[in-house]
Amino acid sequence: MIFYTYDYLHTSQNTWQYARIVITCVLVLAFLLFLIQYWRHRFDIKYKDLSIIFGTLLLLILGMQYNDFSNIQNSIKQSGQMTTVVKEIAKQLRVSKQSISVNSTTPNDNVLVKTPKGFFRVDYNTDGSQFVLEQVILHDSDAVKVEGEK
């Protein structure tokens, strides 16, 4: 079973989105560079072909980003909700949020929490606005792997 630390949840929210932005910016700059070169040297066809290639790649990347935009927004929102839950759990148990790990990056009905005080299950109410911690005992606590632990 894999658990995720607060720091892992907090930092993993933006890593892939920044990479996509960098790739898109590089493609836009390359496209503009070759387009300007084509305008300067109208009889040199290689700049026209390179402009078309980079323009097509740019449209493809932008189309994929538009398609994944709602999924990315949902995952960022849910990871943010989990970090808020971890903060609340730390406050309730009077431990530091860095010492808490959860087994899910999204809030759901089967969230387990690993703390210095033991393992807990998070039970949400019907609308998901409040939760209750219930202490549980894992039969195989040696199989727990913590992602993002220092």
Tokens coding 114: 């690993």
Please count the structural domains in the chain: 1
Domain that holds residue 101: 2-147
pLDDT band at 75 (very low <50, low <70, confident <90, very high): low
Q: What are the pLDDT digits (tens) for 4-16? A: 888 887 776 556 6
Q: What are the pLDDT digits (tens) for 104-119? A: 877 777 888 999 998 9
- Statement: residue 36 has pLDDT above 60: yes
- Statement: residue 84 has pLDDT above 70: yes
